[in-house]
C-alpha cells in the first residue's frame, strides 16, 4: 500500500527540533548502523570518533550566526541579558582544626642543676594562672646564691655611709646577687621575701609564666633536672588558631586581615568570627592546597585544641568586573562561546576568556563589553542550530538553510 506523503515545513531552529523528532522516531523502528569513521557531536561541543570509543577530538565544526523569529524565541524560552559590571562575591568553605597559638605557648625549663622536692601541678591538662607555683627545687647553686645575697646585704648595712667607695662596692655586690637569682627565674617577690626573712631556704619555687593549661608535663617528684630540660609546656588559650587548607585556585581570594566565619561541631548553631592572620608561603604538592591561619578570640576557653571546625571565607573579586551568568557561556572544551545579539537581531557566536566564578556568575576577561546583549538561556539549542547551519545541508534527506528547513520523506515505493 502506498504511503501518504507527509510534508513538514519549519523555519530556523524550530526546523532543527522537528528534524531531531523525525530521526528519533525512525530510530525506534529500524536499527541504524553507524560507520566506523562517523564523528558524533556532544553537548559540550567536543567531537568523538565512534571507532575510538568516544575519545574527544577538536571542536572542528565552525559556527555561524543564527536568526530566530519572535515565535521561536517564545517556544524555546530564549532570555536575553544586557552585559554589565558587577561585584562578584563567593564563599570559600574548608575544614580546619583548632590549635594552641604558638605565640602563646611557654616552656618551663630550669637554668640550673637540682632535684624536684615537690610538684604542685602534677597532671597534664590542669589549668594554671600566672605566678602559680609549679614545683619546688633544691639546688646547691641556689643555696650558695642565697648566701651570697644575704652576705652582700649585711655588708651594705654595716658599711659606714661616709666611706663612699666601700658603700658603692657593697651595693654593687648586692645587686649582682639579686640579678643572679633573677637569671635563674627566681621571681622578684621571692627575692624580696628572702631578704626580709634574712634566712637561706633549702628550696625555691618555680612558677607559671602565663595563664593557661598544661599541654605537656615531663617531670616527677624527686627527679633530678638539668639546665634546659623541658619540665612543663603551658598554653594560654585566651586566643587560639584555626588552621585549614584552601585549594590552590581559591587562595587568591583569601587575604591577611580578611574576616572568616567559624562553626564548631561541639557548639552547633553558634557563629564565631575570626580574622585571617597568616597565609602559608608554600602549596602542598600532593593535595594542591595552601594552609591558612585564622586567629580567634577564646576568652572563656571553650574552644579546645584538637576540635574540628568549618571555616567560611567571604571573598570578593577586586572592584566591579564584567560578568555574565555561568549558564550564558557554552564551554566546548576547546573554546568558550557566548551568543551576542547584534543590531540586525542576529545571534553571533563570540569566543570569550573566562575569569573566576562566584555566585552563579563568571567574570569575562575578554570578548564582551558592557551594554551588549547576549543570550542567557537555551544556549545549547542555539549552538546546535549554529553548527547545523554550516553542516546541515550535507545530511541525507534534509535541506537546511539559514531561514528554513524542509523534510520530505520518501514513500515505500521510493517515490516522493
Give the model confidence (pLDDT) of 142-167 as tens digits.
889 888 999 988 888 888 777 788 88
Q: What is the pLDDT of residue 170?
A: 87
Instruction: CATH number for 92-102+236-316: choose from 3.20.20.450, 2.40.30.170, 2.40.50.140, 3.40.50.970.
Output: 2.40.30.170
Least confident of 1-5, 119-123, 153-157, 387-391: 1-5
- The pLDDT confidence band at residue 118, using thresholds 50, 70 and 90, is very high
Note the pLDDT of residue 336.
83
Q: What is the pLDDT of residue 159?
A: 82
Cβ atoms of 376 and 80 closer than 8 Å: yes
Per-residue pLDDT reduced to its tens digit, 221-256: 999 999 999 999 999 999 999 999 999 988 888 889
SS3 73: helix
Whole-angstrom distance, CA of residue 208 vs CA of residue 219: 15
- Tell me the C-alpha distance between 317 and 255, whole Å: 12
Q: Tell if the pTM clears 0.85, that is, is over it.
A: no
Confidence grade of residue 412 (pLDDT, cut at 50, 70, 90): very low
**Is residue 130 helix, strand or coil?**
coil
Angle at the Cα of 274 from the Cα atoms of 106 and 248, rounded to 5 degrees: 100
* Burial class of residue 396 in the structure, from the number of CB atoms within 10 Å of its CB (0-12 exposed, 13-18 middle, 19+ buried): exposed
Q: Where are the domains of the chain?
A: 92-102+236-316, 110-230
* Helices marked H in 65-139: 70-76
Spatial contact of 150 and 156, defined as CB atoms under 8 Å apart = no
- Separation of alpha carbons 311 and 95, rounded Å: 6
In this prediction, residue 136 has a pLDDT band, given cuts at 50, 70 and 90, of very high
DSSP string, 205-247: EEE-SSSEEEEEE---TT-EE-TT---EEEE-TTEEEEEEEEE
Contact yes or no for 200/186 (Cβ under 8 A): no
List for the chain the helix, strand, coil content (%; round to 5): 25, 35, 40
The band of 197, judged by pLDDT with boundaries at 50, 70 and 90, is confident
The answer for 296, left when phi > 0, alpha when psi is -120 to 50, beta otherwise, is: beta
> For residues 370 and 353, what is the distance between their CA atoms, to the nearest angstrom?
15
The model's confidence at residue 203, banded by pLDDT at 50, 70 and 90, is: confident
For residues 361-385, average pLDDT: 78
First to last CA, the chain: 14
CA distances, 410 to each of 6, 25, 396, 406, 415 (Å):
9, 15, 12, 13, 6
Asked whether residue 174 carries a pLDDT value surpassing 70, the answer given is: yes
- What pLDDT is attached to residue 130? 92
DSSP state of 35: P
- What pLDDT sits at residue 49? 44
Q: What is the pLDDT of residue 389?
A: 61
Least confident of 2-6, 144-148, 212-216, 322-326: 2-6
Res. 24: pLDDT tops 50:
no
How buried is 324 (Cβ within 10 angstroms: 0-12 exposed, 13-18 middle, 19+ buried)?
buried
Place of cell 576557653: 301
In this predicted model, what pLDDT tens digit does every residue of 273-298 receive, in sequence order? 999 999 999 999 999 999 999 999 99
Say which residue, 208 or 391, is predicted with more confidence.
208
Q: What is the pLDDT of residues 332-349, one digit of tens each?
A: 777 888 888 888 888 878
Question: Cell numbers 591561619 label which residue?
Answer: 293
Nearest to 275 by CA among 264, 290, 289, 262: 262
- In this prediction, residue 416 carries a pLDDT of 46
Give the pLDDT of residue 321.
79
Within 13 Å and on the Cβ side, how many CA atoms surround 121? Answer: 28
Q: Is the pLDDT of residue 26 over 60?
A: no
- What proportion of the chain, given as a percentage, has pLDDT over 90? 30
Give the CB-side neighbour count of residue 157, counting CA atoms within 13 A.
Answer: 8
Task: Kindly list the distances between the CA atom of residue 28 and the CA atoms of 25, 50, 410, in Å, as whole numbers in the listed order.
Answer: 5, 20, 18
Q: What is the mean pLDDT of residues 318-331?
A: 78
pLDDT at 394 over 70: no
Q: pLDDT tens digit string along 56-70?
A: 444 556 677 777 778
pLDDT in tens, 301-323: 899 999 999 999 887 666 677 88
Give the least confident one: 106-110, 118-122, 186-190.
Answer: 186-190
Amino acid at each position: 500500500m502506498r504511503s501518504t506523503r507527509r510534508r513538514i515545513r519549519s523555519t530556523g531552529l524550530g526546523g532543527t527540533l522537528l528534524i531531531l523528532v523525525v530521526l528519533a522516531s525512525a530510530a525506534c523502528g529500524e536499527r541504524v548502523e553507524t560507520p566506523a569513521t562517523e564523528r558524533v557531536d556532544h553537548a559540550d561541543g567536543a567531537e568523538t570518533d565512534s571507532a575510538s570509543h568516544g575519545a574527544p577530538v577538536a571542536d572542528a565544526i565552525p559556527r555561524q550566526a543564527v536568526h530566530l523569529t519572535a515565535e521561536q524565541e517564545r517556544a524555546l524560552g530564549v532570555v536575553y541579558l544586557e552585559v554589565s559590571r558587577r561585584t562578584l562575591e563567593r564563599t570559600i568553605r574548608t575544614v580546619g582544626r583548632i590549635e594552641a597559638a604558638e605565640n602563646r605557648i611557654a616552656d618551663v625549663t630550669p637554668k640550673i642543676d637540682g632535684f624536684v622536692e615537690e610538684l604542685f601541678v602534677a597532671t597534664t591538662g590542669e589549668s594554671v594562672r600566672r605566678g602559680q607555683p609549679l614545683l619546688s627545687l633544691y639546688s646547691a647553686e641556689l643555696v650558695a646564691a642565697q648566701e651570697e645575697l644575704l652576705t652582700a646585704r649585711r655588708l651594705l648595712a654595716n658599711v659606714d655611709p661616709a666611706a663612699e667607695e666601700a658603700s658603692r662596692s657593697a651595693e654593687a655586690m648586692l645587686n649582682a646577687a639579686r640579678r643572679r637569682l633573677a637569671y635563674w627565674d627566681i621571681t622578684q617577690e621571692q627575692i624580696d621575701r628572702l631578704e626580709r626573712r634574712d634566712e637561706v631556704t633549702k628550696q625555691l619555687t618555680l612558677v607559671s609564666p602565663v595563664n593557661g593549661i598544661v599541654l605537656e608535663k615531663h617531670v616527677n617528684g624527686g627527679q633530678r633536672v638539668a639546665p634546659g630540660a623541658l619540665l612543663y609546656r603551658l598554653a594560654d588559650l585566651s586566643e587560639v588558631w584555626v588552621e585549614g587548607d584552601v585549594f590552590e585556585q581559591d587562595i587568591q581570594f583569601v587575604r591577611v586581615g580578611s574576616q572568616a566565619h567559624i562553626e564548631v561541631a561541639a557548639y552547633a548553631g553558634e557563629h564565631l568570627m575570626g580574622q585571617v592572620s597568616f597565609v602559608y608561603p608554600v602549596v602542598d604538592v600532593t593535595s594542591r592546597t595552601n594552609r591558612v591561619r585564622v586567629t580567634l578570640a577564646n576568652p572563656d576557653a571553650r574552644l579546645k585544641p584538637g576540635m574540628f571546625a568549618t571555616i567560611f571565607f567571604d571573598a570578593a573579586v577586586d572592584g566591579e568586573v564584567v560578568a555574565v551568568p555561568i549558564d550564558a557561556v557554552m564551554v566546548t572544551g576547546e573554546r568558550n562561546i557566548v551568543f551576542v545579539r547584534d543590531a540586525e537581531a542576529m545571534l553571533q557566536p563570540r569566543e570569550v576568556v573566562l575569569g573566576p566564578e562566584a555566585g552563579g556568575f563568571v567574570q569575562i576577561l575578554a570578548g564582551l563589553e558592557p551594554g551588549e546583549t547576549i543570550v542567557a538561556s537555551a544556549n545549547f539549542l542555539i549552538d546546535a542550530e549554529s553548527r547545523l547551519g554550516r553542516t546541515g545541508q550535507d545530511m541525507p534527506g534534509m535541506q537546511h538553510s539559514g531561514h528554513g528547513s524542509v523534510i520530505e520523506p520518501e514513500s515505500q515505493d521510493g517515490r516522493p
